[in-house]
Amino acid sequence: MRSGVLRYAAGGSRGRSGGGKVSVAMKRFSSARLAAVSLLGGAALAAVPALAAVPAAADQASTAAKAHQLTRQAGEHAAGAYVDRSSGQLVVNVTTAEAAQRVRDAGAEARVVDDSMRRLQNIKASLDRGDGAAGLSWGTDVVTNSVVVSVPSGQDNAATREFLRTARSHGDAVRIERVAGTVRPMALQPGDAIQSGSATCSAAVVGVSGSTEYVVTAGHCTEAGNSWTTSSGQTIGNTADSSFPGNDYGTIEVSDPGALGATNGSISSVGQPPAGSEVCKRGSTTGETCGTIVGYDRTVNYAEGTVTGLIETDVCVQPGDSGGALYQGSTGVGIVSGGTTGGCGSGFQSFFQPVNEALDANGLSLK
């Protein structure tokens, strides 16, 4: 059983861990106490700090490229790829023996599974169209070749029972697990981060469109404030765009780029490493923490609304971290959205908005 309740990581938030309910708990730091998980606040807006050493970052980038290449070549027989945690080897799932042999001929480990990624994605999409109960999360899992539905332990209301009946109708392609906490956005809390009034969050990356610069953060952060400053009081600018729920990204237009001097530190590109890859995140509350990508395309049903297409990891996030950066080496991967309550112990889940989607949706490139 996993532990924790999913929630936003900001002083607002979103793994596979303990079950609980999904709720958005964005609080101001004038409140008596903030929720356990809150928006990840950026330690310093002027620069995204240099990334900590991630073992063999160049090798991991090569592995990611190989995974994408082999899954494309497998076509309709592809069922995803991941890095085996025990061996460190790339494993490519396929549905036929012939496709498996082609993977082996290319120098990777192959595994023959029952369901193609297309079928799993179709099942996941059908669940997305339903009315999921607050507190649930679900997504495709390449390691188990299934769609995994995470349900808070003890949650048994009518909406949950109806959703699980629908999920079970897909047979063995769906796996239901009980988790110990509830998912909810990370609540706002004080910290060394980007601030709007009493709301505190973290910066993910700096994007540009022409000569205009934007700080990219979580959407549930920009929904909570308009005029933003650094933790030292230096002006950043005003909210330009928010997408939440549905997505969880937002942008802040930098009013004076020369004065602010914002940079992306060591982040020079964006991408999506395969499941099982090691990644790190940086936020204003917990600083730099590292862990593993559990999977992509997760749907999280926060109390404030459903967010789809998230990345699930076991990386620790806490209140005030919302909006912070998830990365691997010099590659930007995600934006902190939320995580489970109950601390960052065994079974902790955290969720991230893919940063490439946030940039593309706003017509931005990395500065």
| pLDDT surpasses 60 at 294 | yes
pLDDT of 195 strictly over 60: yes
Residue 73 belongs to what H/E stretch?
A: helix 57-74
Rounded Cα distance between 197 and 226, Å, is 9
> 57-61, 155-159, 192-196, 343-347 — which is least confidently predicted?
57-61
CB 130 within 8 A of CB 107: no
Other CB atoms within a 10 A radius of the CB of residue 189 amount to: 33
What is the CATH code for 117-179?
3.30.300.50
Higher pLDDT, 7 or 294: 294
Kindly state the tokens that stand for 152. 């808070």
> In the predicted model, what is the mean pLDDT of residues 177-201?
68
Rounded average pLDDT over 88-93: 94
Q: Is 22 exposed, middle or buried (0-12, 13-18, 19+ CB in 10 A)?
A: buried
What share of the chain in percent tops pLDDT 90? 61
pLDDT tens column, 308-364: 999 999 999 988 899 999 999 999 999 999 988 778 988 899 999 999 999 999 999
pTM value is 0.72
Q: Which two tokens stand for residue 132?
A: 């999921």
- Residue that wins the pLDDT comparison between 7 and 108: 108
What are the catalytic residues?
220, 248, 322
Q: Give me the mean pLDDT over the 50-79 stretch.
A: 75
Average pLDDT over residues 213-224: 95
- Mean model confidence pLDDT for the chain: 83
Alpha-carbon Rg for the chain, nearest whole angstrom, is 20
Q: What is the DSSP string of 299-346?
A: EEEETTEEEEEEEEE-----TTBTT-EEEETTEEEEEEEEEESS-SST
CATH number of 192-260: 2.40.10.10
Helix (H) or strand (E) holding 332: strand 331-340
The first and second tokens of residue 3, run together, are 């532990």
Sheet holding 78-83, edge to edge: 78-83, 90-94, 109-112
Q: What is the mean pLDDT of residues 129-139?
A: 85
In this structure, of 16-30, 52-66, 136-150, 208-222, the range with the lowest mean pLDDT score is: 16-30
Of the two residues 193 and 58, the one the predictor is more confident about is 193
**pLDDT band, very low/low/confident/very high, at 233 (cuts 50, 70, 90):** confident
Give the amino acid at 4.
G
Residue from 319, 355, 217 nearest 13 by CA: 319
| Every domain of the chain and the residues it spans | 72-113, 117-179, 192-260, 269-354
Are both 117-179 and 192-260 of the same fold?
A: no
**According to DSSP H, which parts of 169-290 are helical?**
219-222, 257-260
Q: What is the pLDDT of residue 6?
A: 53
Question: Within a 10 A sphere around the Cβ of 179, how many other Cβ atoms?
Answer: 30
Asked if residue 231 has pLDDT above 60, the reply is yes
Task: Report residue 262's pLDDT band, with 50, 70 and 90 as the boundaries.
Answer: confident
Joined tokens for residue 134: 């607050």
Looking at residue 18, its pLDDT comes to 38
Identify any residues that bridge with 179 across adjacent strands, giving them in sequence order: 2, 152
**How far, in Å, CA of 180 to CA of 4, rounded?**
5
For tokens 């193609």, the residue is: 116
Q: Choose among 24, 12, 73, 108: nearest CA to 323.
A: 12
- Tell me: pLDDT of 77 over 80: yes
- What is the pLDDT, as a whole number, of residue 200? 87
CATH number corresponding to 269-354: 2.40.10.10
pLDDT band at 83 (very low <50, low <70, confident <90, very high): very high
Give residue-wise pLDDT tens across range 6-53.
556 655 333 333 333 333 323 333 322 222 222 333 333 333 333 333
